[in-house]
Amino acid sequence: MCYDRYVSICKPLHYGTLLGSRACAHMAAAAWASAFLYSLLHTANTFSLPLCHGNALGQFFCEIPHIIKLSCSKSYLREFGLLLFSMCLSFVCFVFIVFSYVQIFRAVLRIPYEQGRHKAFSTCLPHLAVLSLFLSTAAFAYLKPSSISSPLLDLALSVLYSVVPPALNPLIYSLRNQELKAAVWTLITGQFQKH
């Protein structure tokens, strides 16, 4: 998403060549392959952990920090190694995103017309808001001290970073459609007039 925004705003004349169907297929394949490898490594490592505190988690789904709490051996160090590796990889992605958005905002602020700047910001800010929500809640969920851990807080954080961003993306991008905006506005104003 970030690269798409970067190319469409900073290099609009090269959009077709930089983001053709082949480039999109390569990016999608790289994302799927890395996600599959990441999941496979964590799953294999998780199933190799000996659990001595039972196997019941009061969670939305199995989170790595909660599974590590159930482990009774020193083998959880492998999982911490995987988490450290994934955090380094995530940091590289985060730097790429920040660099792209700095370039985007520099290009947008050079647009001489207010309407052009508004249109460019309206395409970038929803993506940035959803990304910020995902990154902040995921980072807090994995990096918070265990002293403030509670089942309700852990559940809320899990829902915030796993359910809300994917649900918000289609909603935010479809609200840019004028017909959908008009329909939602009619629905809302019609509800208020009835009451």
The reported pLDDT for the residue numbered 66 is 67
d(Cα 50, Cα 62) in Å, to the nearest integer?
15
Number of alpha carbons in the 13 Å side-chain half-sphere of residue 45: 20
Mean pLDDT of 146-161: 77
- pTM greater than the 0.75 cutoff: no
Q: pLDDT tens digits for 101-146?
A: 888 888 888 878 887 777 777 777 777 788 788 888 877 777 777 7
Burial of 118 (0-12, 13-18, 19+ CB in 10 A): exposed
Query: Distances from the Cα of 9 to the Cαs of 104, 105, 169, 175, in angstroms?
Result: 6, 9, 20, 20
Burial 132-155 (b: 16+ CB within 10 A, else e): eebbebbeebeeeeeeeeeeeebe
d(Cα 27, Cα 35) in Å, to the nearest integer?
12
Q: Where are the beta strands (DSSP E) in 31-162?
A: none
Higher pLDDT, 49 or 177: 49
Least confident window among 11-25, 141-155, 165-179: 165-179
Q: Is the pLDDT assigned to residue 58 strictly greater than 70?
A: no
The reported pLDDT for the residue numbered 138 is 77
76 contacts: CB under 8 Å, gap ≥ 6: 49, 68
Q: Which of 13-22, 30-39, 129-138 has the highest mean pLDDT?
A: 30-39
**Residue 61 φ/ψ, nearest 5 degrees:** -155, 170
pLDDT band at 192 (very low <50, low <70, confident <90, very high): low
Domain residues of the chain, as ranges? 2-162
Report percent pLDDT > 90 for the chain.
Answer: 1
In the chain, which residue ranges form alpha helices assigned H by DSSP? 2-10, 15-18, 21-48, 64-70, 76-109, 114-143, 151-162, 164-174, 178-194
The reported pLDDT for the residue numbered 53 is 64
Report percent pLDDT > 70 for the chain.
Answer: 76
53 contacts: CB under 8 Å, gap ≥ 6: 69, 70, 71, 72
Amino acid, single-letter form, for residue 110:
R
The neighbouring-strand residues paired with 71 are: 51
Q: pLDDT tens digits for 59-90?
A: 656 666 666 667 766 666 776 777 787 778 87
